[in-house]
Structure 1
Amino acid sequence: MAGIDISVPPQRPDFVQFARGFGKRFILTVDTEEEFDWSAPLDRSSHSLLTVPTLRKFQQFCEGFAVAPIYLVDYPVASSPAAIEVLGEAVREGRADIGVQLHPWVNPPFDEELSDRNSFAGNLPPDLEREKFSRLRDLIEKSFGAAPLIYRAGRYGIGPNTAGMLVEGGIAIDTSVRSQFDYSYMGGPNFREHPLRPYWTGEPGGLMELPLTTVWWGMLRQLGPLIYPLLWRAPSLRGVLSRAGMLERIALTPEGITAEEAIRGIDIALDDGLPLLVLSFHSPSIAPGHTPYVRNEQDLDAFYDWWRTILGYLAQRGVAPASVRDIMDAVVLA
């Protein structure tokens, strides 16, 4: 994998092929992390783990829909006895999957300057990115009794050395690419031109890239990749286009996206033939007061209602949940 930069869009993507019986599937990923002030400068110590116990309720909720969530845990969570108690049994029994999420600013060793640019792990020196990842990966395996097979960089911060690092660490699937989003203004990757379908980052059967699902909706959806970036200085115009039914960017998340919008997104993704949908959210949203999306108990009720609606709709459309192992076992190599 040396020399393969997964933060750069592939010129000729080799899309993953799945067995016919795999059908239409989705995964539910949870960026399982500490709580911190999203509006404040990054800090190595100003965080808490108050929402970790509430993962038990969310896990039980998912089991009621026969969904095995994929918890992408970072260093503070992997170090938490409460997280091991709440999630350990579910992971061991296959009712949940465990994966890696690297937040470099709270993940030792702390050899880098604390800055926005360095909060994207792919910007770090290769040896430092690898050492942070290795410590976290080993801690997760020790804490949860399972070797993680899936990775997401915190802030989606992959870089030129990430792919090789993941392969060396036994990771089969990367899900850091957020198609249609651009974080370059903060020093991060630009994913505007990355494919949405799962694709191989190198040789087929190696590291799979499984992008988060984001689609364009509206009369101008075919021009979304061209028009939307031009409006970054005028976000109000994006809202005008959305309300007018002209153009909207829809990510499959309860954070800032209504259930009605998400259903439109699901329909578009399925109509476009996307074989595997990736839904996501941040774990601090499962308790009030820790993210902009869930500020009070009413917001929390709405959060769970969102999932009831979306999981019900996916079942109605014949889209079944998948685990990491389901995905790997369904791969067809030519």
Structure 2
Amino acid sequence: MSQPKTSPPPPGSRARFASDFGRRVILTVDTEEEFDWSGPFTRDRHGLDHLPRLRNFQEFCEGLGVVPSYLVDWPIATSALAKDILATPLANGRAEVGIQLHPWVNPPFEEEVNERNSFAGNLPPDIERAKFLRLRDAIAENFGVSPQLYRAGRYGFGPATAELLREAGVGVDTSFRPLFDYSDRHGPDYSGYPLEPFWLDGEMSVLELPLTTVYWGMLRRQGRLLHPMISRMPRMSGVFAKLGLLERIPLTPEGTSIDEAIRALDMALDDRLPLIVLSFHSPSLAPGYTSYVETDADLDALYDWFRAVYAYLGQHGVKPTSVAEIMRSVET
């Protein structure tokens, strides 16, 4: 029997920031184990071989004046090496740590391991809550900080997640991926959600920072209507993009070229987004663990992507920010 699809809550009121906040950019890193993205989910077939590369990446970010937000899941949260690498940057405010829930590797292990249950928001609320609290407490114990940012792994925010965050005192979420629909895999449909930060509830207790994806092209204003239709025909999507009619561009170095990213930034700047949210997965910091970085040249290209993006944003007055600064600047 098919199970009912769960959905994230409807968007609340748009968030407003202090007048001196300006326009900002934040970098989020899905800091997670290596596993086979094309294979079935498993409790134990994963690795952490790329973790030493976090040290290099953190030094790179500090050189750019960027405070990365590392969204760590259970294997990272319980890793002594991750603690050793991140302890000093976290203590000095040069990095932040948040929560990322991968249910299939996060105790307690009570649910069946399958694709539907890989979205934490699909789990029974008591199981989602138990996993989340175990992870939050492990992060606090290992890293010595109280995480204030959450991302559901695979963007799997569910109907009970907002209340869970409120109860746990986690004030910021970044699980929503506007313009993407995961319902064909039992996940949420974010295709109709706004790109601007918004409150998840009327109490203004949980702030949503959607990942930044934009439509580019002559038909971009009609993108929310047209793209879901043409995306069902992969060849048509390519034709529309090649002709400059319509292209969906997520702001990540994974699968998005520098030229595409610059076009997307132009759209975000044109739409006057107050906050741009960049993201990628930590296993891409070493060749061979994701399809996006298979060689040393690919890794060099990832770093070049960040250099180009931050340089372009700097030219347009968009400064890096952090979760701590966002929480101080948002008006409630």
The TM-score by the shorter chain falls in which range? Answer: over 0.9
* d(CA) in 2 for partners of 1:197, 1:225: 15
* Aligned residues between the structures: 327
2:239 is paired with a residue whose SS is helix
Q: Is the 8 A contact 2:90 2:97 kept in 1?
A: yes
Q: What's the CA shift for 1:234? A: 1.4
Are 2:78 and 1:79 aligned? yes
2:126 is paired with a residue whose SS is helix
* d(CA) in 2 for partners of 1:83, 1:218: 41
* d(CA) in 1 for partners of 2:82, 2:28: 16
Which aligned segments of 4 or more residues in structure 1 are displaced greater than 4 angstroms?
none
Q: Is the 8 A contact 1:92 1:144 kept in 2?
A: no
* d(CA) in 2 for partners of 1:14, 1:273: 17
In structure 1, the partner of 2:23 is 24
Q: Is the 8 A contact 2:7 2:189 kept in 1?
A: no
Are 2:119 and 1:145 aligned? no
In structure 1, the partner of 2:10 is 9
* d(CA) in 1 for partners of 2:204, 2:269: 25
In structure 2, the partner of 1:324 is 323
Counterpart AA for 2:189: N
1:237-276 equivalences in 2 (<5 Å): 237-276=236-275
Q: Is the 8 A contact 2:25 2:275 kept in 1?
A: yes
* d(CA) in 1 for partners of 2:20, 2:171: 21
* d(CA) in 2 for partners of 1:90, 1:204: 33
Deviations 1:126-183 (A, max 9, x none): 0000000000000001111100000000000011100011111111101000000000
Q: What's the CA shift for 1:231? A: 2.4
In structure 2, the partner of 1:115 is 114
Q: What's the CA shift for 1:6? A: 7.0
1:191 is paired with a residue whose SS is coil
Are 2:231 and 1:232 aligned? yes
In structure 2, the partner of 1:124 is 123
Give the root-mean-square deviation of aligned CA atoms: 1.1
Q: What's the CA shift for 1:205? A: 3.3
Deviations 1:164-209 (A, max 9, x none): 1111111110100000000000000000111111011112531001
Q: What's the CA shift for 1:291? A: 0.4
Counterpart AA for 1:316: Q
* d(CA) in 2 for partners of 1:59, 1:316: 23
**Identity value in percent:** 57
Counterpart AA for 2:278: L
The TM-score with structure 1 as length reference comes to: 0.96
Q: Which blocks of at least 5 consecutive residues in structure 1 are unaligned?
A: none
Counterpart AA for 2:27: L
Counterpart AA for 1:125: P
* d(CA) in 2 for partners of 1:209, 1:91: 23
The TM-score with structure 2 as length reference comes to: 0.97
* d(CA) in 2 for partners of 1:111, 1:123: 14
Q: Is the 8 A contact 2:9 2:200 kept in 1?
A: no
* d(CA) in 2 for partners of 1:25, 1:52: 28
In structure 2, the partner of 1:298 is 297
Deviations 1:97-130 (A, max 9, x none): 0000000000001100111000000000000000
